[in-house]
Amino acid sequence: MKMLKNYLKKYKWYIFVGPFFKLLGTILELCNPIIVAKIVDVGVENDDVDYIITWGIVILIVNVVGFLFNLISQKCASLTSTGVATSLRKDLFKKVSEFSHKELDQFGTASLVNRIINDVNQVENAVGLSMRLLIRIPFLLLGAFVISLIINAKISLVFLILIPIICVILWIYTKKTTPHYKVMREKLDTVGKITQENLKGTRVIRAFNKQEDEEKRFNLASADYTKTSIKISKISALLSPLMLLFVNIVTIAILMLGGWQVNIGNMQQGEILALIDYVTMITLSLLIMSQLIIMVVRTNASLYRINQVFSVIPNIQDKPDALETKNLKYDAIMEFKNVSFNYACDKETPSFIKNLSFSIYPHQTIGIIGGTGSGKTTIANLMARFYDVVQGEVLFKGVNVKDISLKCLRRDLSVVQQRSSLFKGTVRENMQLRDANATDEEIKESLKISQAYDFVSKWRDGLDHQILAGGKNVSGGQLQRLTIARAIVNKPDLLILDDSNSALDFLTDSKLRKSLKKLDTTLVLISQRATSVQNADLIIVLDNGNVVGMGKHKDLLKTCEVYLEIYQSQTR
C-alpha cells in the first residue's frame, strides 16, 4: 500500500474534492426519507395538495443537486484511477525493460504480462471504487443509524444486533478467501504461459499433430484455475444471502415493533416508512461494504505481485561512474579471463562454463564452434553482458564490462542472436532500431552486405514493405539476412553472429562472409558449421563449456579431436 500512496500523491486535489462532493451527495440522500415522512404525515394525512407539491419540488431539487455532486465525484475518481493505472503501467514497463535475462527468466513473459495488464486493472478499479464509496458507505451507515435513533431510539437499537453479526461474517470471509486470491493469480499466469506457447508455436504443434495434447494441457491448467476460482465463488456466494437473511430479520422486527408503536400512538406512519428506507440504506451499504472488502482482498494480492516486480534490483545495471568507450586505449577488443558461469548466477551452483580464457583483437575474424549445448550462445550473452560472470572477468576494450556504460557497450557491440526476430513495421523501421537516424543509403549498404538487398529491391514497396510481427511473412533465410543487416547499420566495432546463418544455403553463406570481411569491424562467428568458420583468423572449439582447442583450421585438424570430428561429420 505504501507504493500505491506514492502514485496517489499526484492527485491530492482530486482525492480531496471527489470524496467531499460524494459526502455532500450522501447528506442529501439521507434527507429524502425525512421529507417523504413529512409528506405522508402532514400532506397526505391533512389532504394538503400544496404541501405535497412544495415538498415534492424540494425532493426533486435535492436529487438533482445530489446527482451533480455525484457526477463531480465520479469525474474525480475516474481521473485519479486512470491516472494512477497509467503511471503504474508505465513504471512497470520501464522496470521490466531494465531487467537482465536473469530476472526475465525468473518471472516469465506470461506472468509479467498479467501483472502489467490484469493486476494494474484491478488496482485501477479499486482506486476508483474507493474514492466513490470509502467515504460514502461509512457515512451513510452512521447517518442512517443516527437519524433512525432520532425517529425512534428503541426500535433503532435493533440495528445494534445486526452490525456485530455482519462484522463477524465479513471477518470469516476475508480470512477464508485471502490466501486463495494469490494462488488464483499464479494459476492464471500458468494459463497465460500455455496460451502464449501455443500461439507462438502453433506451426510446430500442427506439424506434429499435437493439437489434442496441447488442448488437454490447456484444459488441465484452466480447470485448476477454475477449481480455485469456484472455491472462492462458493464462499462469496454465501456472503450476500447470509447478510440479506439477517437484514430481512431486522426489517421484519422493525415492522412489527413499528406497527405496535403506531397502534398505541407513539409513532406515525411516515416515520415507519422513513425507518424502512433507512433499513434499506443500511442493507445496501452493508452489501456494498462486503463487495469493497472482496475488492480490497483482490487488490492486495495484485499489489503484492506488482510490488514483487518493483522490489527486484536488476542484476545488471550501470555503475554511477560508468565509463564511456570513445577514448579508451586497448590491445584486445574483447578478453575472457578465467571466466566461470552458471545460469543460476551464484557461486553455489556448479559452473557450466569453467575457467574460460581467450582474447579477440581488432579487425580479426574469430570462429567459435562446438556441439549443441557446448556454451556458444552463453559466450555471446556474456560478451554483450546479458548475464554477468560468476567468476573471472570479461573485458571490452581493456575495461571490465561491468565498469562500462551499457548504452556505450551495446552501441559499440552488436549481436545477432540465434533466434532472429523482426518487429511489425516497415523494413526501414526495423533497420533503424539500431540507429534511428540511419539514412536510406546506409540501410541499403547494410542490406547489400547481408545479401538481403536482392530480395528487398524486388519488393514493389522496397524499404516501405510491411513486416509482420516476428517476421512471419518472410522466409527463415530472409529473416536472418534482415537481422544481420539491422545489426551492421552504423557499423559496430564488434559484430557477433550467433549461429545466425543456419538458414542460409552454402553459396549465400559464402557471399555473406566475404562481404562481412569488407566491414571495418571485428567479427565473431558462432556456428555449428565448420565451413562457416574455417577461414577465421582464430577458431575457438568448445565442449561442455570448456575450450578444448584454439588455433587455425589446419592446425586444429591435427591437434583437436573434437574439431576434427565436427569437420569430418560435415564434409564426408
Provide the percentage of residues in the chain whose pLDDT is more than 90.
Answer: 1
Strand partners, 542: 370, 547
Residue 300 has pLDDT above 80, yes or no: yes
Residue 154 has pLDDT above 80, yes or no: no
Do 357 and 298 share a structural domain? Answer: no
Do 21 and 116 share a structural domain? Answer: yes
Last residue of a domain, one of 279, 311, 343: 311
Do 391 and 263 share a structural domain? Answer: no
Do 546 and 481 share a structural domain? Answer: yes
At 265 the pLDDT is: 65
pLDDT band at 68 (very low <50, low <70, confident <90, very high): very high
- The CATH number linked to 276 is 1.20.1560.10
What does residue 175 show for φ and ψ, rounded to 5 degrees?
-65, -40
Do 364 and 301 share a structural domain? Answer: no
Count of domains forming the chain: 2
The pLDDT of 130-150, averaged and rounded, is 82
Q: Which residue has the higher pLDDT, 343 or 453?
A: 453
Residue 164 has pLDDT above 80, yes or no: no
Q: Which of 367, 357, 307, 396 is nearest to 563 (CA)?
A: 367
pLDDT band at 203 (very low <50, low <70, confident <90, very high): low
Do 340 and 299 share a structural domain? Answer: no
Residue 462 has pLDDT above 70, yes or no: yes
At 457 the pLDDT is: 87
Do 202 and 273 share a structural domain? Answer: yes
For residues 394 and 374, what is the distance between their CA atoms, to the nearest angstrom? 19
DSSP string, 106-141: HH-HHHHHHIIIIIHHHHHHHHHHHHHHTTHHHHHH
Q: How far apart are the first and last CA of the chain?
A: 67
In a domain, 321, yes or no: no
- The CATH number linked to 454 is 3.40.50.300
Strand partners, 527: 369
Residue 373 has pLDDT above 70, yes or no: yes
In a domain, 326, yes or no: no
pLDDT band at 398 (very low <50, low <70, confident <90, very high): confident
At 301 the pLDDT is: 80
Instruction: Give CA separation, 78 vs 14, 70, 124, 131, 292, in Å.
Output: 10, 12, 9, 9, 17
Helix (H/G/I), strand (E/B), else coil: 25: helix
For residues 18 and 24, what is the distance between their CA atoms, to the nearest angstrom? 10
Q: What is the mean pLDDT of the chain?
A: 82
Report the residue count for the chain: 572
Q: Of the ranges 224-233, 331-340, 454-463, which one carries the lowest mean pLDDT score?
A: 224-233
The pLDDT of 505-515, averaged and rounded, is 81
SS3 string of 184-208? HHHHHHHHHHHHHHHHHCHHHHHHC
Residue 402 has pLDDT above 80, yes or no: yes
In a domain, 54, yes or no: yes
Do 380 and 239 share a structural domain? Answer: no
pLDDT digits over 249-293, tens only?
A: 777 777 777 777 767 666 677 777 777 777 777 777 777 777 787
Q: Which residue has the higher pLDDT, 104 or 166?
A: 104
In a domain, 244, yes or no: yes
Contact 488, 495 (CB under 8 A): yes
Residue 148 has pLDDT above 80, yes or no: no
Do 197 and 67 share a structural domain? Answer: yes
How are beta strands 365-370 and 522-527 bridged, if at all? parallel
Do 63 and 131 share a structural domain? Answer: yes
pLDDT band at 474 (very low <50, low <70, confident <90, very high): confident
Do 492 and 392 share a structural domain? Answer: yes
For residues 8 and 16, what is the distance between their CA atoms, to the nearest angstrom? 11
Residue 331 has pLDDT above 70, yes or no: yes
In a domain, 319, yes or no: no
Q: Which residue has the higher pLDDT, 178 or 14?
A: 14
Range of the domain at 514: 334-571
Strand partners, 496: 415, 524
What's the chain's Rg over C-alpha atoms? 35
The pLDDT of 63-67, averaged and rounded, is 88
Do 272 and 186 share a structural domain? Answer: yes
pLDDT digits over 8-30, tens only?
A: 888 888 888 888 888 888 888 88
For residues 481 and 471, what is the distance between their CA atoms, to the nearest angstrom? 12
pTM: 0.72
Q: Which of 263, 201, 267, 193 is nearest to 225 (CA)?
A: 193
pLDDT band at 1 (very low <50, low <70, confident <90, very high): low
In a domain, 216, yes or no: yes
Q: Can you tell me which residue has the cell 552458471?
A: 342
DSSP string, 293-307: HHHHHHHHHHHHHHH
Residue 247 has pLDDT above 80, yes or no: no
Contact 354, 546 (CB under 8 A): yes
At 267 the pLDDT is: 67
Q: Which residue has the higher pLDDT, 458 or 347?
A: 458
At 501 the pLDDT is: 75
pLDDT band at 350 (very low <50, low <70, confident <90, very high): low
